[in-house]
Each structure stands twice: as structure tokens, then as C-alpha cells.
Structure 1
Amino acid sequence: MRIGLFLNEPTGPDPIKELGDGIAAARDAGFASAWMSHIFGLDALTALAVAGARTPGIELGTAVVPTYPRHPAALAQQAMTANAALGGRLTLGIGLSHQVVIENMFGYSFERPARHMAEYLDILLPATRGEHVHVEGETLKADIRLSTPGAGMPVLIAALAPRMLKLAGSRADGTVLWMTGPRTVTQHVVPAITAAAEEAGRPRPRIVCALPVCVTDDAEAARARADEVFSMYGQLPSYRAMLDKEGVSGPGEVAVVGDEDSVLAQLDELRRAGVTDFVASPYSKSERTLALLGRLL
């Protein structure tokens, strides 16, 4: 199981330099990958292209870029440009986002999300390979061929529901998970995505699992802190469904928390569950957490 690091959203006066320093620190520490979310701050692809270009030797990924606000050909062009800037080190993670974001904030319809993603891939995947795309879908259309350099990056889908996991296994290179515990990975994610990949004759999919991590002697306080920091994820329907599948009440119960031995045991449980890449999101006592993760690199 490869170990990656979730990059903190820069908050200082020079966010690109701050992000670049974070990427360099992750690379120098030995992390296999560094990942950036795309919410309401920096544009993840642009920021990674600029900040990461000067730091070779580490995979950089988006976790994840929302699809609804971007036509797939436009996203393909941007991602290929970023991949060219990064020397082919980009992994493009995409996702539907959430109904409250897409409808209430962007003003788009969130109807038929699985159909939207299927047609999005019909355009995005061949476009990122530099192929001509002609699609007349129910939700998306395109007739275009891009000449952008940087073709051929892996594409992962934030997939939690069964139809999305089937798409991730049969069409994409795997999935990016968040707020998904080991029981749900074992019983829900791995069987669905693996079966879809096998049926489609595709290689074993990547299962990138990101979770909050805190190495501490006070696990109870750390889990309470995780419930506070990540409270909104316990309310969003897609993540709430994964927490319910896990049989837990909130984000703190899927966070990887405890002393060194306990955290190592939890990471091994994720590995045995089928996670191919674990992405750590340290949220408290990060120095001790990073020291332990460094032992695994």
C-alpha cells in the first residue's frame, strides 16, 4: 500500500509558494503522492501545475475536481496542460460534488448524476488521450479533438454508490474515497469495483482511500476533534451513507486515531481491506503523525 499526503489549503500571503513548499516537503519525506482538494479556494489543477512543476519525483493528484461546472473537453484540456507542466505526474481525480453545491451554489441541475458521469467519461477519457470525440448524449455533447500536450494521465472517480463504483472499475483507473472505513471498503467498495474491472477486462483498479489521521495518546479527544473539524462530511448525503454502512455516527469514528501501534494496526487493516493507496490527512499533532508515517515510507 502506497502512502500519500493530503496537502493543506494554503492560507498565507503567497499561497503558491506555500503549496510548493508543501509538495517539496512531502517529496523529501518520501511520500509517494500528494493530493489537493478542489473546493472554494485555489483551482487545484492550476495550483498543482504551477507549484508542483519545480518538484519532480512525486505523483500529484486532485481529490477531486467537480464535474458539473466544467465541460469534460474543457477539463481534459486543462488537465492535459497541467500534466504537461508536471512532466506526466498528474492523476486526475474527478467527482460529482454534492447536490447542495451544484444546485444551490452553481445553479445547475443535479439530476441523473450517474448518467451525467457516464457521459462525462464518454467525452473526457478519449479527449485526454488526444482522440477525436463525437458524443450526442442526453446530458452532454461534444464534437472535438484536442491537440494539447500531456495526454494520457490516470483518471480516478470519487465513487461511493454502486453505479459510480461500476463506472470507476469498468471505465476509469479506480476510485478516490473519503470518509470510508475499512468495513465499507471490504464489503462494499472492493467487491463492486473489482467485479466491474474484471468484467470489462481492465487491470486491477486503484483504491485511493483518504482519511483524517492523528497519532496521539488521547484517542477519545482526537476523535472528538475530528468530529468537530470534519462535521460537515457527516451531513452530506454521500458521505453520510458511507458512515452508515460502516456503522458509525460521525467522522471521528473512521479517522485513523491512536498511539503508534494502534494507528499502524488501523493502516494494516485498510491494506488488508484492499486499499492500494492511503492518503493521510493529518489534522492534529501533525509532527508526531508525520513521524510515524515517515517510518512507513
Structure 2
Amino acid sequence: MHWTRAARLWQGQSLTVEAHQGFAHAAGNGFGVPTGLGVSLMPLRHPYEAALQARSLAISTGHPVLAGFGPGRPDLQRAMRGEPYASPLTAAEEYLTVVRGLLQGRQLDFRGRYFHCEGALPPSPAPQVQVGLGVLRPGMARVAGRVADAAITWLTPAAYLRETVIPALCEGAEAAGRPQPRVVAMVPMALPLPGQDAAAVAVAGSGAHMQAPQYADMLRRAGIDVDGGDPLANARSLIEGGAFLAGEADELVERIGEFWNSGVDEVVVNMTGVANVGGPKAAMQQIRTIVTALSDTEETR
């Protein structure tokens, strides 16, 4: 980030090194930067702790935080709660309402269907903390429009964002009488790797998502069929449909521009597949190449 115009360092949910602690460790070693969490899974922590962790990260790094949350898969919800959320939309709206209220310094007496919170965070100066919601489909986009500072998407093609997600986000915001939240698109991508097919890289980074019902449904809505039994064929569909970007640096810069032109405010360069196939050094080199190329274009945001 110090050598490009990149705005924020992002980390998804990790069950190995927890993202808040990883970022705080990096800050303690002199690498304090604006951070994004996309997305933390709601069943793993109460919204009070979620607000406390996000603010603690902002204080530790000395920089703004965009903390994203999502309900996760039904099997995770069952494992953590004993049963899945009967309404993930309601659960997400309650969760974000509590987290945002606490971060705004309010004293809460919140009694919802899924979450209960009485209290407030002790006052403390801190950089800005915004709250995001993981969004795949129109229903969750409308919830984000009502209660989030940002909608955070993953594997969502630019055209699908423009035609489906952003209009629903606007609907939610208008119904709540508030401005439309920002849109953050986490976009998996890869430059060519020697000896590796792009589809294999896509499987390494997004194979589990293609098998998840909510992602398969979103991709079908976007015109991408991942219902076949061949993971490589499904991955090729991802690439053809623009959910996974593959190509040389100039091609990726052009495809990233499609997201900005679709109304996205922040594009996250995600190299999970490259890291899983070629290792962290290869992923970091590809990030450097792409972000530097983006910094050299007029489309950089």
C-alpha cells in the first residue's frame, strides 16, 4: 500500500490466524494501514464483541476500519447456535443494527429475534469504523441499503452488480430514507502462472464457494451455470462469466474497470487461488503487478 495508490488492506474470515489479531500484529511491527474485514461470520461472536474488536483494531492500527459481517452457511449457524437462522435477513439486520449503534456511541436496549444487547462501548477516541454487510442476492442487498455503511460482495460479476445488486441496494436505502451505502466488490483474479491452467487456479481459490447453495444461486442469477459435477468446467464458467478474472495485467485492468463503471466504489484484488496454488510469494508478486498497473491508469480509484 505504501508504494501504490491502494486504499485498504483486506482480510477474509480465517480460522487459522484471526483477522483482527493478524492486523494488530502487523501494526505492532510497524505496518499499520487502513483495513477491511470481508466478511467476519456472525455466529462466531456476539455483536457487542464484534463492535469492540473492530474499534480495538482501529485504535491499534491508528487507521480507519471497514468491518464486514455475514451470516455464513446454515451448517456453520447450526454448529455454533444449535440451529440455523430461520431468517438470515432478519439476523443480519439485527446484528448490524447493534454493531453500528455501539460504534456510534449509543446506549442500547435492543431486543430482537436473534440478538439482545443492553449497554454501550466505553467512550474512547478511535479512527472511523464503518460496518459492512456481505451481499450476494437482492434480499440481503436491501438489508444493506437499510442498515450498512457498505455492501461487500464476492464472486459477483460486474453486470450482475449493475443490474441486480445495486438497484436492490438503492431500494433498501430509499425505504430507510438514507444515502446508498458504498459497494465493495471482492474480485478473485489471477495472472498466468507457469504450468497452471487458469481454471485450476479458480478452483483452488473458489471451489468451496461454487458448491455452496447461496453462491450457486447467485451465479445462476448472473447467468453462470456451476451445477455440473466437473469443478474445472464450473471454474471455466466462472471465468467466462466474469466472476473470476484471468489474463495478463492489461486485461485485468480493463476488466476491473468494468466493476467501477458498474457503480462499484472499491475493488478488492483477491489472490486466494494464486496463493493456494503458487504460494504467498507468487500471490504478493501478482498483487504488486496488478495494483501497480492500476495505479498507472486513469481508472484507478
Q: For 1:117-150, what per-residue CA distance to the aligned partner results, in whole angstroms no more than 9, with x for missing partners?
A: 1221232111111210001212211211210523
Contact 1:217 1:258 in 2 (8 A): no
Counterpart amino acid of residue 185 in structure 1: L
The residue number in structure 2 matching 1:293 is 291
The residue number in structure 2 matching 1:221 is 197
Counterpart amino acid of residue 146 in structure 1: L
Q: TM-score, normalised by structure 1?
A: 0.82
For the aligned residue pairs, the C-alpha RMSD in angstroms reads 2.4
2: CA distance between counterparts of 1:123 and 1:289?
Answer: 35
The residue number in structure 2 matching 1:7 is none
- Is residue 43 of structure 1 aligned with residue 18 of structure 2? yes
2: CA distance between counterparts of 1:279 and 1:73?
Answer: 27
CA shift, 1:95, in A, is: 0.8
- Equivalent positions of 1:40-189 (< 5 A) are 40-53=15-28, 54-56=30-32, 58-104=33-79, 107-149=82-124, 150=126, 152-189=128-165
Q: 1:235 aligns with which of 198, 202, 211?
A: 211
The residue number in structure 1 matching 2:277 is none
Contact 2:96 2:131 in 1 (8 A): no
- The alignment partner of 1:109 has SS state of coil
The residue number in structure 1 matching 2:258 is 269
1: CA distance between counterparts of 2:133 and 2:81?
Answer: 21
CA shift, 1:217, in A, is: 8.9
Question: Which segments of 5 or more consecutive residues in structure 1 lack a partner in the other structure?
Answer: 1-25
Q: 1:295 to 1:87 in 2, by over 3 A?
A: same
Q: 1:239 to 1:117 in 2, by over 3 A?
A: same
Q: Which moved more, 1:171-180 or 1:101-110?
A: 101-110
CA shift, 1:63, in A, is: 0.8
The residue number in structure 2 matching 1:278 is 267
Counterpart amino acid of residue 292 in structure 2: G
Report how many residues are paired.
271
The residue number in structure 1 matching 2:173 is 197
Q: For 1:244-291, what per-residue CA distance to the aligned partner results, in whole angstroms no more than 9, with x for missing partners?
A: 122223354221111233222211111111111110112336435531
2: CA distance between counterparts of 1:69 and 1:61?
Answer: 18
Q: For 1:37-69, what per-residue CA distance to the aligned partner results, in whole angstroms no more than 9, with x for missing partners?
A: 11311121222123235334x320111111123
Question: Which segments of 5 or more consecutive residues in structure 2 lack a partner in the other structure?
Answer: 227-233, 275-281, 296-301
CA shift, 1:105, in A, is: 6.0
Q: TM-score, normalised by structure 2?
A: 0.81
% identical aligned pairs: 24
Contact 1:208 1:275 in 2 (8 A): yes
Contact 2:4 2:291 in 1 (8 A): no
The residue number in structure 2 matching 1:19 is none
Q: Relative contact order (alpha carbons < 8 A, sep ≥ 6): 1 or 2 greater?
A: 1
The residue number in structure 2 matching 1:211 is 187
1: CA distance between counterparts of 2:2 and 2:180?
Answer: 26
Q: For 1:199-244, what per-residue CA distance to the aligned partner results, in whole angstroms no more than 9, with x for missing partners?
A: 43333321111121112399x9213321244211101122112211
